[in-house]
Amino acid sequence: MPLNPTPLARPFTLSDFDFELPPALIAQHPTAERSGSRLLDGSSPTVVDRIFHELPGLLQAGDLLVFNDTKVIKARIFGEKASGGKLELLIERVLPGHQVVAHMKVSKKPLIGGKMHMAGGAANGGFDAVLLGRWPDAQGQLFHLQLSDEPHALMEQHGVVPLPPYIERPAGAVPHTDTEEDARRYQTVFARAPGAVAAPTAALHFDAALLAALEARGVQRASVTLHVGAGTFQPVKTENLADHTMHREWYEVPDATQRAINECKARGGQVVAVGTTTVRTLESWAQSGQASGDTQIFITPGFAFQVVDKLITNFHLPKSTLMMLVSALAGYEHIMGLYRHAIANEYRFFSYGDAMLLSRSVAEVMQQ
């Protein structure tokens, strides 16, 4: 049905991206089958309710799907200070020399040089961490730590999957820690490069059968890497969007993916980004000319896209930078109409929720 939006006639502010979401629509568990989630087809001005496994029929031979192949690490680890006070680390980035950058949750921060005993400490089968100081360029929210062994191995052995703050687990469980289901399903089937503390959730809907169907359709695949940081969950606090400082994340666009994109454009195909992290990666590369590095790209309405034609994405939090990104791509009025439709029809929201298919062409059509 047509959404009949009313154009916004003033500059965008944070409040424009707010909406009322019934808590019952926040998905707490994934669907039984990855590709069995719902798909809200918003790739034209007329919205259609679909199932995700219908995706191959919505794309054309010669289109290019671009995935984020980052792998969620077991970045949340519990321990205590030398004084015995409980603490929690969320490792955001691994550095050379067994060093990491991490968030720290503790009643009183240890002194620089202070030792923390994680998972029981090195003397009890765990490991130790020494605070080197605060990490620069992170608004004081991150800390620089020296670990007693290789970080990835320590996380795999002692850590848990860092679930988003809106996913709840049964009473008695440690808040926001994983279950066996989470360890399996809060990860894409093609995850390759460890480094993310949050999943590229739009890609969670893909399974082997769907990928085979897309290949049979003639849809091609490529991948980028963006290690999703905890900053993706941080709320925007400034009403004036220009005053917001984006979090920093590392990305890479391989040579093979650059060639695949150029070939897709040359043959008239469309580049379909799977998830907002893929959008941010591709447009950071196009904007900067750098195939790898850190990005703080902030995409809001009015942004000039250079690579992405379509987007597969989940439903996002109110007032989030991701709401701004999808509004920039498909048009603000269209997006707000899709969200009203999704809420009225009880779509499932956020990481384990349902998905949308969006197109830049809708925004262009609706502006004419």
Q: Is the pLDDT of residue 292 over 70?
A: yes
Q: Is residue 319 part of a domain?
A: yes
Q: Is residue 49 part of a domain?
A: yes
Same domain, 294 and 343: yes
Output the six-digit token pair for 64.
């290019």
Same domain, 278 and 221: yes
Q: Is residue 105 part of a domain?
A: yes
The answer to whether 189 touches 205, Cβ cutoff 8 Å, is no
Q: What is the pLDDT of residue 338?
A: 98
The answer to whether 78 touches 287, Cβ cutoff 8 Å, is no
The residue to which tokens 């192949």 are assigned = 69
In whole angstroms, give the CA distance from residue 179 to residue 220.
34
The answer to whether 228 touches 54, Cβ cutoff 8 Å, is no
Q: What is the pLDDT of residue 169?
A: 75
Q: Give the end of a domain, one of 94, 125, 158.
A: 158
Q: What is the pLDDT of residue 4?
A: 39
Q: What is the DSSP letter of 24?
A: G
Same domain, 44 and 139: no
The answer to whether 48 touches 37, Cβ cutoff 8 Å, is no
The answer to whether 80 touches 87, Cβ cutoff 8 Å, is yes
- Region 333-354 average pLDDT: 98
| Side-chain-facing half-sphere of 163: CA atoms under 13 Å | 25
The answer to whether 149 touches 98, Cβ cutoff 8 Å, is yes
What is the side-by-side strand order in the sheet with 38-42? 48-51, 38-42, 355-359, 310-314, 271-274, 64-68, 220-226, 249-252, 292-295
Q: Is residue 339 part of a domain?
A: yes
* ∠ Cα 199 309 18 (to 5°): 60
179 C-beta neighbours (distance < 10 Å), count: 16
Output the six-digit token pair for 201.
């959730």
CATH of the domain at 265: 3.40.1780.10
Same domain, 46 and 127: no
Q: What is the pLDDT of residue 192?
A: 96
Q: Is the pLDDT of residue 8 over 60?
A: no
Residue type, 17: F
Q: Each residue of 88-130: pLDDT tens digit? A: 999 999 999 999 999 999 999 999 999 999 999 999 999 999 9
CATH of the domain at 142: 2.40.10
Same domain, 239 and 94: no
Same domain, 98 and 127: yes
Q: Each residue of 219-268: pLDDT tens digit? A: 999 999 999 998 888 889 999 999 998 988 999 999 999 999 999 999 99
Same domain, 291 and 199: yes
- Region 150-175 average pLDDT: 83
Domain count, the chain: 2
Q: Is residue 243 part of a domain?
A: yes
Same domain, 218 and 343: yes
Same domain, 132 and 203: no
Residue type, 43: S
Same domain, 189 and 324: yes
Q: pTM of the entire structure?
A: 0.92
Q: Is the pLDDT of residue 203 over 60?
A: yes
Q: What is the DSSP letter of 68?
A: E
Single out the residue of 259, 268, 274, 179 nearest to residue 225, CA to CA.
274
Q: Is residue 214 part of a domain?
A: yes
Same domain, 152 and 188: no
Q: What is the pLDDT of residue 123?
A: 92
The residue to which tokens 């005993």 are assigned = 117
Q: Give the end of a domain, one of 158, 190, 216.
A: 158
Q: Is residue 2 part of a domain?
A: no
Q: What is the domain range of residue 144?
A: 76-158
Same domain, 276 and 191: yes
Mean pLDDT for the chain? 92
